[in-house]
Amino acid sequence: MALDIIAFGINHKSASVDLRGRVSFAPETVVETLRSALPSLKINEIAILSTCNRTEIYAVGELSDQQLLEWLAATKALDAKALEDCYYCYRGTDAIRHMICVASGLDSLVVGEPQIFGQIKSAYSVAQKAETVSGQLNMAFQWAFAVAKRVRSETAIGQNPVSVAYASVSLAEQIFSDLKSAHVLLIGAGETIELVARYLRDKQIGQITVANRTLERAKELAEDFSAEAILLADMPEHLHKADIVISSTASQLPVLGKGAVETALKKRLHKPMFMVDVAVPRDIEPQVEALDDVYLYTVDDLEEVIQDNLKARQTAANLAQQIVDEEVEKWPSKQRELSVVDTIKAFRDSAETIRDAEVQKALASLERGQDSSEVINTLARNLTNKLLHKPTTKLKQAGKQGCDDTINVTQELFDLDKK
């Protein structure tokens, strides 16, 4: 009997940005964490999705909520009580529904945002690399991806760009009436920052500076947007020039502190600075918010900014939910299909083991000079006998016990004429 698929985690709806930051997984740690989780949790499969808005564990095995809660808390050096009121756990069909909704963008901070599809595909790829996904979880991911693509193609949920990146730029546009004269500092060079840069270019932003841990990647991004590239370490020398600062890195510690911002404000003669920190864990120290002339927003603050954009997608989201409901109903049959695939694989493996053994015997006979016709006949006879031995024994038992169903299925399976 197949074990339940489990989807366990916290997200922007259930936990604060600070708590989400404390349970997030740095990309370079995920493979090792996955590999150690299998024996630790005594499960068959596991994958981890960790973004600025959610950390989720997808698993296959017999696990209680408490076991998962304690494992996550221990892994992140937290008291389990800190997570007790903000986690969710789905099982079976509900877990599949949740995975599909996540992949489709229906469970995102911004409904329909496209980045999550790439993020969950990346989580799947990392789990493949760690060799911690196989039968059921592999099928679940493939099913979620297929439904998400259907949602994108059959609804308008992905139209009219709406994302955390887009919301950041929209907020900047509300504060600065003329972006053409503004200077923006982008911290990081990942997908979110690239989207921000694209939106800013569309708004004809005055000047862009890209700061990144590696200068090469900063230059790659800067070239696409006629921007200046600098290292994170050089930010203090450039920060005072920035009217707008938007940050999104994968750093586990803040990359911009209160002291650096205070110094920049003095050089600016306290001309206001607008900052958006969309990273989890946070890139900009929370204490920066207390400074006069600084307007600091986090990913949680952006939720209010994007409400107007959500209205245009609500109809599409309703249609998408209908598609999800329709596809979730098919999951039980997909699970049965999976069990058949496993049986077919086991059947083929058994047959191929017998074949390989008999071929080796035949080759040995030929090397000893035995007549080739005799060797072929022996090979064919042995293969037939060994492949049919177990089915024949089972059929005889079925006949003695009056198990007509077994006999009828065998006749249908092998297309045998009833006599």
Residue 52 is a catalytic residue: yes
CA 243 to chain centroid, in Å, comes to: 34
Cα distances from 293 to residues 63, 273, 298, in angstroms, run 50, 6, 17
The CA distances from residue 403 to 390, 406, 407, 408, 410, in Å, are 16, 6, 7, 9, 11
Catalytic option among 52, 86, 89, 403: 52
Cβ neighbour number for residue 204 with a 10 Å cutoff: 9
User: Whole-angstrom Cα distance, residue 84 to residue 80?
Assistant: 6
Place of tokens 């887009």: 166
Distances (CA, A) of 68 to 9, 28, 73, 96: 9, 22, 8, 18
Q: Are the C-beta atoms of 206 and 182 separated by less than 8 Å?
A: yes
Determine the 3-state secondary structure of 107 from DSSP: coil
The kind and range of the H/E element at 276 are strand 273-277
Catalytic residue positions? 52
